[in-house]
């Protein structure tokens, strides 16, 4: 496991060396593993843009040339190109769960890139995200890169938190999404990449996104289209009539 020691034996931390048993490089490397993130309640963020997007004070910050030697960050980073900064944060500082008009409810999505992308999509539309057991960890390095900082603005909950009208997005079943009335509080249920949603997943409606050519859509694309259609319908409902048009209201 990587440590702070450089090839010449010096600690790679500039200024105050790490204390015995408190090696920051070892801690960051451990946070690549979900078991350690769960145990410590911490996660590591790589890169200047993601660290700048953080809405909480970090537990520790490692900056190339200021806090650590470049070799140290290169050894513990997961990105293809070593970042200039890595920061460690507490999971408890992420936004708490709150109900929003729309929710993306993810059932056993195993790809952290999809989970992060859907968090970013939810942020774009002011939605929340709920995760079932078995979902990829949204604080994993790949999910954090895909969320592009949105992890700090989107409330994350559990499958049990899902409320409103549950609309299951299916590849080859249900009514066309645009034909459904999506006004009011709604939750879009998105199933695992290969298996989809199980029959026992409680829902009020089944919906499909009509496509030509490809057999199915990527789950992250489906979530984005669903939120776009929800936003389209809610904007139509709330928009005042244009000049010269008559309102449909009595």
Residue 114 CB neighbour total at 10 angstroms:
24
DSSP code of residue 64 = B
β-pair type (42-46, 85-90): antiparallel
Q: Which two tokens stand for residue 250?
A: 């009595």
**pLDDT in the model for residue 240:** 57
Question: Which regions of the chain are under pLDDT 50?
Answer: 243-250
**pLDDT in the model for residue 250:** 40
Smallest Cα–Cα separation from 26: which of 41, 15, 36?
36
**pLDDT in the model for residue 247:** 45
Rounded-to-integer distance, Cα 5 and Cα 13, Å: 9
Measured CA to CA in angstroms, residue 13 lies from 18, 22, 29, 139 at distances of 7, 12, 15, 25
CB 88, CB 59: distance < 8 Å? yes
Tokens 């290969």 map to which residue?
194
Helix (H, G, I), strand (E, B) or coil at 50: helix
Averaged pLDDT score across all residues of the chain: 87
pTM, two decimal places = 0.87
CA 10 to the chain's CA centroid: 38
The dihedrals phi and psi of 38, each to the nearest 5 degrees, come to -65, -40
Smallest Cα–Cα separation from 15: which of 68, 80, 78, 84?
68
**pLDDT in the model for residue 14:** 58
């Amino acid at each position: 496991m990587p440590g702070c020691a450089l090839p010449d034996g010096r600690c790679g931390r500039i200024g105050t060396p790490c204390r015995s048993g408190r090696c920051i490089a070892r801690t960051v490397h451990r946070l690549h593993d979900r078991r350690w993130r769960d145990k410590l309640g911490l996660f590591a963020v790589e890169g200047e843009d993601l660290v700048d997007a953080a809405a909480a004070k970090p537990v520790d910050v490692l900056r190339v040339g200021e806090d650590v030697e470049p070799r140290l960050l290169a050894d513990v980073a997961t990105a293809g190109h070593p970042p200039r900064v890595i920061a460690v944060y507490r999971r408890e500082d992420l936004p708490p769960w709150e109900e929003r008009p729309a929710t993306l409810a993810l059932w056993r999505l195993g790809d952290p890139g999809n989970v992060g992308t859907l968090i970013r999509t939810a942020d774009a539309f002011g939605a929340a995200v709920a995760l079932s057991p078995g979902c990829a960890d949204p604080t994993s390095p790949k999910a954090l890169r895909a969320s592009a900082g949105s992890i700090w603005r989107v409330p994350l909950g559990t499958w049990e938190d899902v409320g409103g009208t549950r609309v299951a997005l299916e590849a080859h079943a249900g009514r066309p999404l645009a034909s459904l009335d999506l006004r009011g509080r709604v939750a879009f249920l998105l199933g695992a990449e290969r298996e989809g949603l199980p029959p026992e997943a409680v829902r009020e409606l089944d919906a499909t996104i009509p496509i030509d050519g490809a057999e199915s859509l990527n789950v992250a694309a489906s979530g984005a289209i669903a939120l776009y259609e929800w936003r389209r319908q809610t904007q139509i409902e709330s928009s005042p009539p244009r000049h010269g048009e008559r309102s449909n209201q009595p």
